[in-house]
A and B are shown apart, each in its own frame.
Chain A
Amino acid sequence: MNKKLKGKITTTFFVIPTLFVFINVVIIPFIMGIIYSFTNWDGFAFKGSSFVGFRNYVSVFQDDKFVTAFWLTARYTFVMIIMVNIVGLSLAILVTSKVKGKKFFRGVYFLPNLIGGLILGFIWKFIFTKFFEQLGESIHNSKIFFNWLDSPTASFWALVIVGVWQMAGYVMVIYIASIESISDDIMEAAEIDGATSLTKFKSITLPLIAPAFTINLFVTLSNSFKQYDTNLSLTNGGPFGSTELITMNIFSTAFSYNKYALAQAKSIIFFLVIMLITILQVYSTKKREVEM
């Protein structure tokens, strides 16, 4: 009995510290956040704030800037999902084929992913502004090569290009794992049956890498939806606030305009959207696993 009790106490020592930190850093602020989003809290002491019901949530949808940022983020995420996965899958196919120096190529394609989004944005800022201007002048084509960050449309695509450059290597790694797990026997059998590279890809590789596709879909989706660092360093929401993504909008609502309760309501909506997407994703994966 005594020994059992002692065991229990040691067990608690293993769990309590982590649990204590976790509850104070994640759980309590999360619950506070939900409560604050229903009040008129101004960012300082909570005392003196009063409950305002759903007023903040109503204001969120009346806030044109937020609605614009939301749709811009949705468009950005959509374009990113398509482009990152096309580029990532192509690179994965390339480095798992008979190409020479696969290891080197793989290493190079993955490299941008290790450099933080903030620093990536700064590197590309120089390219889109100074380098493009100079290139446009020297080859007399200022229709394509001009200062991209001066134009709202081009700035959006600049964000996409940097995002693809950063994330393609990451999804590539996941596709590679999946492609390499396809057994050689299947491929050899198909070859003996006279299948061309294209049929092999269409009828063997693509169906077998479907799980990797689901993972990558979700990885790209959630990373693009939460994009902040590159947005900050590359365009900082400009020109004229035209490239402000949703997280930047939340950030400026709180820390530039001091509308803390409103910002918190926005961040709860942001969380709900991410949760909804994840549930859909998990649900669809489970469903497919059953079918397989």
Chain B
Amino acid sequence: MNKDIVIRTRGLTRYFGAKPAVYDLNLEVPRGCVFAYLGRNGSGKTTTIRMLLGLLQPTRGEGAILGYDIRALPPEARARIGYLTEDHQLYGWMTVRECGAFQSQFYPQWKEKLFQGILGHFGLKPEARVKDLSRGERAGLCLALTLAPEPELLILDDPAVGLDPVARRLLMESMVQLTRRSDRTIFFSSHQLADVERVADYVAVLDHSVLRACCSLETFRNGVQQVHVRFKGAPPPLPKIPGLLQVFRKADELRLICVRYDGATEQALRALSPTEIEQAPLSLEDAFISYLGDRGEKSLIFSEPEAQP
């Protein structure tokens, strides 16, 4: 295995009953990057992560993480991987201090100073019981428990889900500030596109269990483009355009969102005799929503114009 690839899957597939949750996933995550794993609810993000960590057996296909087969991860591999779960579940009866003491005994390279630092960052008292912590505080404690062993690979399953904006920002900033290191890879799934835009180098997008995009953030942003096509009257029917995601039809204008707007696409649009073709910027959030939203044409004309007196 290439030493610069920390996660690699080939045809990784998982069925639940007759329904594929992840289908034929081919993924490569380079070392040292922040890799965002995106998709709508139920698209297979958590299933992928659980398969990567050997918590769920794949139906077929294979995968390796830090060079180890995901079907039989040895303890030494687990010691190098930090995993932050979605619900930030911990033992409710433990205090914050006890959680740290429990976790530290499994990791010889435990950094107590880092642990205490993150606790301080989140304002967590060592004697507080886990069951009494707010969701944001619990997330902070989980982050501290995950980061203090200094893992080589950090896998975060939607770490900010359910947090209020302040807690979310605190968590993401801590994560980036404290973890960003050239030799550390962060693989995280998220719905928070602003966070993704701020921290990710790479994005992978799952759509209905199938990987549809895996590229740098920049490539994704550039790949999804918006074009306004204006006409003198009502726009004509649109021919088949490769990579078309969505079309919004107005009275005298078509707004197209498509993947890879190139010469061939422009030529197809020019054949409709428009008065103007104009490219417009698209935020990552809009690009992502368009990419994963319902495909096809939508009309923005909801009623006939009122008659002039």
Q: Real complex partners, A and B?
A: no
User: Which B residues contact A (CB, under 8 angstroms)?
Assistant: none
